[in-house]
Amino acid sequence: MIYTLSILLIICAILLVVVVLAQNSKGGVADGFSSSTQVIGAKRTGDFLSNLSIGLAVAILLICLTFNYVAKPTSDADASDAEDAEIENTEGAAPAEGKAPAEQAPAKEDSGR
């Protein structure tokens, strides 16, 4: 399920980029660099692309919320059990060769300055 949502999210994001780039400029910074003649498409294409970009943005939002619901643990007890198991695994680990554990590290002497 997570892989399906991830692929769907990537596809929607790529489509949103393409749709936004395909829209005509409505004025602003890039207005001086583009020509005002319409080469491809009809007059009503802008409305369709605007609605499509809004729909894709809403789809991305819903996919992200669904992904968050599917990916998170079902309860706090499950999350704390996983953290406790990880802590138990790291407590019994031997220190790396040539390095002293943190508890046995020599203390620095304070020179009193």
Q: What is the pLDDT along the chain (113 residues), one digit of tens a residue?
A: 888 999 999 999 999 999 999 887 766 555 555 555 555 555 666 788 889 999 999 999 999 999 988 887 766 555 566 666 666 666 655 555 655 555 555 566 666 65
End-to-end CA separation in angstroms for the chain: 62
Q: What angle do the packed helices 45-71 and 2-22 form, to 10 degrees?
A: 160
- Quote the number of domains for the chain: 1
| Residue at 64 is within a domain | yes
- Residue 12 domain-assigned? yes
In a domain, 33, yes or no: no
Is 7 part of any domain?
A: yes
Q: Which domain holds residue 2?
A: 1-26+45-74
Does a structural domain hold residue 11?
Answer: yes
Residue 2 is assigned to a structural domain of this protein: yes
pTM (two decimals): 0.51
Measured CA to CA, the distance from residue 19 to residue 25 in angstroms comes to 12
Residue 81 domain-assigned (yes or no): no
